[in-house]
Chains A and B, each alone.
Chain A
Amino acid sequence: MKKIDVGQLKKISGADNVSDNIADLYVYGADASVHQALPNVIVRPKTISEVQKIMRYANKNKIPVIPRGAGSGTSGHTVPIDGGIILDMKRMNHILEIVPEDMLVRVEPGVVDDDLNRALKPFGLFYPPAPASSRIATIGGEIAANASGVRSVKYGATRDYVLGMKVVLANGKLVKLGSNTRVHSSGYQLERLIVGSEGTLGVVVEATMGIRPLPKFRCLGVANFNKLEDAGNAISEIISSGCELSMLELMDKIGIIAVNKAMDLKLPEVAAIIMFEADGNVKEAVDFEIEKMKKICEKHGGTDIKMSYDVAERTRLFSGRKKLFASLSKYKEGIICTDLADDMGVPNSKIAEAAAKIHEIAEKNNVIMAVYGHCGSGVIHTKIMLDPKKKSQWKDAEHVIDELYDYIHSVGGVTSAEHGIGLSKAPAWKKARGDIIPMMRSIKKALDPNNILNPHKIMDAPDDWIRATNLRYKVGK
């Protein structure tokens, strides 16, 4: 890589928006994953034209460019494994247009998900994907990871809302993909190709996204289970019985203990809690769905079932689940939560079995793993909880990852359901999907022949995730 001409970048985006001091480099070299690496420079563009100029410069000089939203990725997507330029997109944060009559919004990539929803609310509209990190996650980052969230069982993932986008390619050329219409059958669906590409194919500089009307009624139910298996079976039956649900969440005992410790919620420390929700514009219809789910929970041993339409009460009931990820470090002194093996997807019928298997593999390998997630969509979130200072625990984590993903893939599951592959999930994913890697590499080469856009991620990531970069933790011997 050639030495980066910081002065040139300052000319493009202004001196205040370019930094190569160590305070910024060190911070921008990390995300929510276990990885850390140093970039050479941070640039914060404000306009499409600036992004084009930066890409032209980087392409000419073969300098890696890593587009970055909030840096809330869990697998090292934005960790600059080869150094280069971090393109912080958060200054491009304007909502350009809200068009209720066409049910779409046009936004810049740095718009924060919650900000978009706050702006849509007065129109009676919302943007549904909403990952748990919606308070900081940017639309650009959500597109890069094909993010989804608690209501994906009804509303789907980011890919279901992308209508069109403007993308700056590696050579600086601006292309307009997709359309302004809900459907199109006019050539390759290239806008969908960008979804989930983790910044490896282009820089999203504008997105046209579909939106939905806010439902008038939302009812949340909570049921406790004394066996994790019973909760898993209730989830499978709720899905297969054709319930029209808007959310179906699971929390296991480890998660419950952690949020009780972190937030003093006083939740009953049972084997599992299921949270189920229905929404709609006709209260009787919502009642009908909720009652149906309640009965299924009761049939499978669900007890102490609470239900509420009230926003404050729903928020209270759901608060533990919302902050579960961050609370896990409170589970046990000396043990912390690492973002590893964090978002498998499994077929609905396998949820109970997968939950039991996760606990079995964790116990066998001396680590702790919580099981929770948007089980209505088959998403199982886990985290590996370990003592980061012990080298042996990282070996344990490697074993867990190998065994767990072998199992997940053997039952027809996916490596990542909504967080993406990045670095830490790449070895397991490559093992399972070697069949599509040549095709993905061909696409990458066609769009980015100099391999400058977020290089060495997904299919090109190192085979050893633990040594792919420095670990963010100081590991002893």
Chain B
Amino acid sequence: MGLLGKIFYIKKQGNNFKRSKKWEGELNKCIRCGYCYELCPLFKSNNWESDTPRGKLLLIYGMITGEIQPTKEIVDKIFQCFYCKNCSDNCSAGVPVTDILTDARADLIEQGFEIEGTIVKINEDLCSVCGVCVPLCKYEALSIESDGKNKEKIVVDKVECRGCGLCVSACPSGAISQKEGCEVTLPELHQKVEEIIKQHGKKLVVFACNWSMFPGMQLSESPTLIKTSYGIIVSMCSGRVAPELILKAFDGGAWGVMVAGCPPEECDHDGNYKTRRRLVLLKNVLNELNINPKRIKLEWFSTGESAKLQNEINDFVKEIEKMGPINKMVVSKKVGG
């Protein structure tokens, strides 16, 4: 490449990443210690280093310095993040990981890349444009827009979408979905419930929120040899725990289900309020099914309350052991009658 070519190349790079470029100094501060691995739910689920915050920062650095060119694979990694901010909140070098990521996303969208990652997708054939999802999204990533032919549709702002998935669980038409592979879609959560009960023979299924329950995540991932009678599923937000998941757990043979969410006022997505309302309704349904509603427990945990989580789990295990298994015969009789 000649001198003119080099100047053009550098200029082109600068223009392509005009938002991200300003973070070069912060990216230099990342000492790549990798301590963020421990905190990243995506890494816990996929185990590829390119899914970690350190990996994403490396890729962004490579793109803004022109060492690598964006490809579909790189773009996909950049758009895979749930913005739990465990990484940036705990980075001693103070690198604002998610702010950098947001700017990189905006730059890549501007370059016209096809985006998937953890961003939600709308199936327009199924969507009735009821608009339930729009006010639900705290990040204002969803809006109703007209296509100019008097037809309206739901549009996703791909920079603002945090992939929390609350809209996925709230959509009455099942028109909103997320890519599989990050252990957060409903089919994947169903599979995890089944694994915990059928394969591992657990009596208690605990749904722990990733945002507050980073310690819960640790408990769930510890390869301990001690047999426990509970299994922890880290969902992205307690608001994502759809009632059908809880019913599936009982149907599969669970003796109890615990939902661990952020305390009121601490949830970034207001998902905890939604869960509280849902669980009240679900408990009524359980009564109808002749299942003791006390088999569902909702508890609030702030970040770092791993000891409290462990104690609550232990206490609840004792409670459900007193209740014993659910008598399915009685359930079917009652429903059938």
Chain A, range 61-119, C-beta contacts under 8 Å to B: 70-72, 88, 90-91, 93-95, 97-98, 111-112, 114-115, 118-119
Which of the segments B68-76, B125-133, B158-166, B278-286 contacts the partner chain? B68-76
Smallest CB–CB gap between A347 and chain B, Å? 29
| Chain B CB within 10 A, most for which of A27, A31, A72, A114 | A27
Do A119 and B34 touch across chains, with their CB atoms under 8 A apart?
no
- A327–B93 contact, CB under 8 A? yes
Q: Is A19 within 8 A of B226, CB to CB? A: no
- B218 CB-CB contact with A under 8 Å: yes
B224 within 8 A of A: yes
- Given known A-B contacts A27-B59, A133-B34, A473-B28, A115 and B223 have beta carbons under 8 A apart: yes
- Check A136–B38 contact: CB distance below 8 A: yes
Q: Once the chains bind, are B47 and A111 in contact (CB under 8 Å)?
A: no
Is B329 located at the chain interface by the 8 A CB criterion? no
> Closest CB-CB distance, B213 to chain A, in whole Å?
16
Question: In the complex, which residues of chain B have a beta carbon less than 8 angstroms from the beta carbon of A388?
Answer: 28
B248 within 8 A of A: no
Given A27-B58, A119-B222, also A22-B31 (CB < 8 A): no
A323 at the interface (CB under 8 A from B): yes
Measured CB to CB, the closest approach of chain B to A11, in angstroms, equals 20
B319 an interface residue at 8 Å Cβ cutoff? no
Q: How far is the CA of A214 from the CA of B116 in the complex (A)?
A: 48
The answer, yes or no, to whether A381 is at the interface (CB within 8 Å) is no
Determine if B94 and A111 form an interchain contact, defined as CB atoms under 8 angstroms apart: no
Q: Are B49 and A88 touching (Cβ within 8 A)? A: yes
* Mask: chain B, 6-30; 1 = CB below 8 Å from A; 0 = not: 0000000000000000001100111
Task: Give the residues in chain A near B35, CB-CB below 8 Å.
Answer: 133, 135-136, 326
- Contact among A23, A118, A338 for B222, CB-based, below 8 A: A118
Contact with B along A310-344 (1 / 0, CB 8 A): 00000000000001111111100010111100000
Chain A hits for B226, CB < 8 A: 119, 122
Whether A330 and B34, one on each chain, are in contact in the complex, defined by CB atoms closer than 8 angstroms, is: no
Q: Are B73 and A262 in contact (CB under 8 A)?
A: no
Q: Name B43-91 residues within 8 Å CB distance of A.
A: 47-50, 52, 54-55, 58-59, 62, 65, 67-68, 71, 73-74, 76-77, 91
Contact A329 B59, CB 8 Å, known A23-B71, A122-B226: no
Most buried by B among A26, A28, A94, A338: A26
Question: Could you tell me how many residues of chain A have their Cβ less than 8 Å away from some Cβ of chain B?
Answer: 55
In the bound complex, residues from chain B placing their C-beta under 8 Å from that of A133 are 33-35
The distance from the CB of A85 to the nearest CB of chain B, in whole angstroms, is 15
Residues of A contacting B24 in the complex (Cβ-Cβ under 8 angstroms)? 474
CB-defined contacts of B225 to chain A, threshold 8 Å = 95, 97-98, 119
Evaluate contact between A72 and B222: CB separation under 8 angstroms: no
CB-contact partner of A326 in B71, B73, B93, under 8 A = B93
Smallest CB–CB gap between B336 and chain A, Å?
Answer: 44
Residue numbers in A under 8 Å from B52 (CB-CB): 27
Note all chain B residues with C-beta closer than 8 A to A88: 49
B58 near A26: Cβ-Cβ < 8 Å: yes
B221 CB–A CB distance under 8 Å: yes
Instruction: A167 to B40: give the CA distance in the assembly, Å.
Output: 31
Whether B211 is near chain A, meaning CB under 8 Å from some CB there, is no
Report how far A207 CA is from B139 CA in the complex, Å: 48
The answer to the question of B316 belonging to the interface, with a C-beta cut-off of 8 Å to chain A, is no
Report whether B73 and A22 are in contact in the complex, using a CB–CB cutoff of 8 Å: yes
Judging by beta carbons under 8 Å apart, are A136 and B73 in contact?
no
Any B CB within 8 A of the CB of A30: yes
Taken together as a complex, chains A and B put the C-alpha atoms of A337 and B28 apart, in Å, by: 9
User: Across the interface, which residues of B come within 8 angstroms of A112, CB to CB?
Assistant: 38
Q: In the complex, A327 Cα to B226 Cα: how many Å?
A: 36
For B37, B49, B62, B76, the residue with the greatest tally of chain A CB atoms inside 10 Å of its CB is B49
In the complex, A328→B226 CA distance in Å?
39
**Would you call B55 and A27 a contact (CB within 8 A)?**
yes
The verdict on B92 contacting chain A, using a C-beta distance below 8 Å, is yes
Q: Which of B33, B73, B93, B94 has the most CB of A within 10 A?
A: B33
Pairwise interchain contact B31-A27, C-beta atoms closer than 8 A: no
Are A262's CB and B94's CB within 8 A? yes
Q: Which residues of A contact B59 (CB under 8 A)?
A: 23, 26-27
In this assembly, does A399 line the interface, its C-beta being within 8 Å of a C-beta of chain B? Answer: no
In the assembled complex, how far is the CB of residue A377 from the closest CB belonging to chain B, in whole angstroms? 21
- Complex CA distance for A95 and B226, rounded to whole angstroms: 11
Residues of chain B within 8 A (CB-CB) of A21 are: 71, 73
Asked if residues A334 and B25 are in contact (CB atoms below 8 Å), the reply is yes
A279 to B35, CA, bound (A): 27
Asked if A32 CB lies within 8 Å of chain B CBs, one says yes
Q: How far is the CA of A328 from the CA of B93 in the complex (A)?
A: 7
Q: Which residues of B contact A50 (CB under 8 A)?
A: none
Q: Report the bound CA distance from A300 to B28 in whole Å.
A: 39
Contact B50 A23 (CB under 8 A): yes
B35 CB, min distance to chain A CBs, angstroms: 6
Interfacial residues of chain B within 147-200, with CB under 8 A of chain A in the complex: none
Minimum Cβ distance to chain A for residue B129 (Å): 36
A contact residues vs B (CB 8 Å cutoff): 19, 21-24, 26-28, 30-32, 44, 70-72, 88, 90-91, 93-95, 97-98, 111-112, 114-115, 118-119, 122, 133, 135-136, 259, 262-263, 323-330, 334, 336-339, 388-389, 470, 472-474
Q: Known A-B contacts: A21-B73, A111-B223, A473-B28. Give 9 more (CB < 8 A).
A: A26-B62, A32-B32, A44-B47, A97-B225, A115-B221, A135-B38, A262-B92, A329-B31, A336-B29
Could you pull out 29 A-B pairs where Cβ atoms are within 8 angstroms? A21-B71, A21-B73, A22-B74, A23-B50, A23-B59, A23-B71, A23-B76, A24-B50, A26-B58, A26-B62, A27-B52, A28-B49, A28-B50, A31-B32, A71-B49, A90-B47, A93-B223, A115-B222, A119-B222, A133-B33, A135-B38, A136-B35, A262-B92, A323-B92, A326-B31, A326-B91, A326-B93, A327-B93, A336-B28
Nearest 7 pairs of A and B residues by beta carbon: A326-B92, A329-B29, A323-B92, A27-B55, A21-B73, A23-B73, A329-B93
